[in-house]
Amino acid sequence: MPRYRRWTAGWVIGLALVLLLAAIPGYAQDHSQDTDPVVSRVNGDPILRTALHGRVRFVRWQYVRELEKLHELTGGNFALTPGHVGDLLASLDDPALLGDAVLTQLEEERLLWQTGESIGVTPTAEDAQAYETAFFSLWTGVPADQVAGNADAQVFIADWYASATAASGLSANDIRIVFETEALRDKLFEHLGASVPTEELAVNTRHILCSFHPDNVGDLTPPSAEQRAAAAACLQDAANRLDAGEPFADVAAALSDDRASASQGGEVGWQLVSYLVTAYADAVRDAPLNTRIGPVETEFGFHLIEVLGRDMQSLTADQLNESQQGYFQLWLADVWTGATVERAPDWNAALPADPGLESLSGTVLAALDEFRARE
């Protein structure tokens, strides 16, 4: 039960379609601020209204295209991907919701470019080209190393850019900045990830959990006074039985609300400290071995814990990647905290509502109507 604190990436490195296309800065255009108002300033660097509106139109265009593709892939049954389709429709239906998400992304990209330049981390043209090639490889099904010489892929790319620029008002160069931005993210990830240790402290523990919510141990709702008292009484009962000489495994099997480990005598086994909830990790990091500690309170309840072993453990490739992603997210949060981001009061004025669902075929619209009716 204590295995709950592992960093998750709020961003995805690579070529996830929606995130990649949502990354276009749209600030390569040169407009006079007298005729093109500023919608936000990031550390004094302005984002202009035409950049925001062009970006919004581009994302809307891509979302419509994605609905077309999903219709094709699901045979018209949008219920096969309800969460994603619902998110796309919610964004298309609410210009303010999408506009806020787009502007937030633009602001974050400014922060990435500003920070990258300040620490001397910038992508090369080859880095950006690699992202573009890989992206269109996904769209066309042509292997990345064959895209440049494949006539059908090149026709698709030309048509894609023509449609994108017509729908958004952005230039092809504006759109290509997306690949440079993704390459920048990759460079920053590599730069920061290089400082992440390749090994980490691991502990072998066993525990008895008296949950605040024994009928639903994963419920993180703050406990009432009665629930806290019941959990404390449970833990005291466990402590009394242990003090009387009853084996830890037997008490865990009888009383612990973490049923997965209770069936193993309370054994959690070897876990990296970063996989553990904060209070549990803090308690076991330096605790004496083979000695009962507790009560230790976490968001799940009260624990009695024994640390059976402690050692440094080399991270697997997946674990190292998780740690690097988590470190990147923490770093990015610090960048945001230290930034000055000032949005204009009227940043959301006249946000585009086009292109919209009306550009879809009647067959796709009928499938969407059926999907909405079911939802």
CATH number at residue 118: 1.10.4030
CATH number at residue 220: 3.10.50.40
> Do 310 and 190 share a domain, yes or no?
no
The pLDDT tens digits of the residues spanning 265-320 come to: 999 999 999 899 999 999 999 999 999 999 999 999 999 999 999 999 999 999 99
Question: What residues make up the domain containing 251?
Answer: 199-314
In a domain, 7, yes or no: no
pLDDT greater than 60 at residue 323? yes
pLDDT greater than 80 at residue 12? no
Query: Which residues have C-beta within 8 Å of that of residue 375, sequence separation ≥ 6?
Result: 82, 86
> Do 173 and 64 share a domain, yes or no?
yes
Share of the chain above pLDDT 90, in %: 88
The pLDDT tens digits of the residues spanning 114-161 come to: 999 999 999 999 999 999 999 999 989 999 999 999 999 999 999 999
Mean pLDDT of 183-188: 95
Q: What 3-state DSSP class applies to 123?
A: coil
> Do 157 and 247 share a domain, yes or no?
no
Q: pTM here?
A: 0.75
Dihedral sign from CA coordinates of 97, 219, 281, 312: negative
Which pLDDT does position 32 carry in this prediction? 46
Q: State the pairing for strand pair 267-272/38-42.
A: unpaired
Residue carrying the six token digits 């620490």: 119
pLDDT greater than 60 at residue 16? no
In a domain, 130, yes or no: yes
Residue 201's DSSP bridge partners are: 312
Q: Which of 314, 334, 350 delimits the end of a domain?
A: 314
Which pLDDT does position 34 carry in this prediction? 58
H or E stretch including 150?
none
Residue 304's DSSP bridge partners are: 208
> Do 64 and 136 share a domain, yes or no?
yes
Integer Cα distance of 86 and 108 in angstroms: 25
H or E stretch including 6?
none
Count of residues making up the chain: 375
Which pLDDT does position 356 carry in this prediction? 94
In a domain, 162, yes or no: yes
The pLDDT tens digits of the residues spanning 72-88 come to: 999 999 999 999 999 99
Short-list 16, 21, 23, 14, CA closest to 130: 14
Average pLDDT, the chain: 90
> Do 237 and 266 share a domain, yes or no?
yes
Q: Which of 314, 335, 353 delimits the end of a domain?
A: 314
More confident residue, 20 or 199: 199
Query: Which residues have C-beta within 8 Å of that of residue 306, sequence separation ≥ 6?
Result: 205, 206, 207, 248, 290, 291, 292, 293
In a domain, 6, yes or no: no
Which pLDDT does position 1 carry in this prediction? 52
> Do 250 and 347 share a domain, yes or no?
no
Which pLDDT does position 52 carry in this prediction? 96
Number of structural domains, the chain?
2
The pLDDT tens digits of the residues spanning 32-42 come to: 455 899 999 99
In a domain, 141, yes or no: yes
Query: Which residues have C-beta within 8 Å of that of residue 235, sequence separation ≥ 6?
Result: 208, 210, 294, 295, 302, 303, 304
Q: State the pairing for strand pair 301-314/199-211.
A: antiparallel
Integer Cα distance of 314 and 323 in angstroms: 12
Which pLDDT does position 296 carry in this prediction? 97
In a domain, 176, yes or no: yes
Query: Which residues have C-beta within 8 Å of that of residue 153, sequence separation ≥ 6?
Result: 136, 137, 140, 142, 146, 147
Q: Which of 280, 295, 314 delimits the end of a domain?
A: 314
> Do 67 and 183 share a domain, yes or no?
yes
> Do 181 and 300 share a domain, yes or no?
no
Which pLDDT does position 4 carry in this prediction? 35
> Do 285 and 352 share a domain, yes or no?
no
Integer Cα distance of 149 and 97 in angstroms: 41
> Do 22 and 115 share a domain, yes or no?
yes
In a domain, 247, yes or no: yes
In a domain, 166, yes or no: yes
> Do 49 and 167 share a domain, yes or no?
yes
> Do 228 and 369 share a domain, yes or no?
no
Lay out the sheet containing 38-42: strands in order across.
45-48, 38-42, 341-343
Angle at 96 between CA 95 and CA 102, to 5 degrees: 85
Q: Are 50 and 31 in contact (CB under 8 A)?
A: yes
The pLDDT tens digits of the residues spanning 87-116 come to: 999 999 999 999 999 999 999 999 999 999
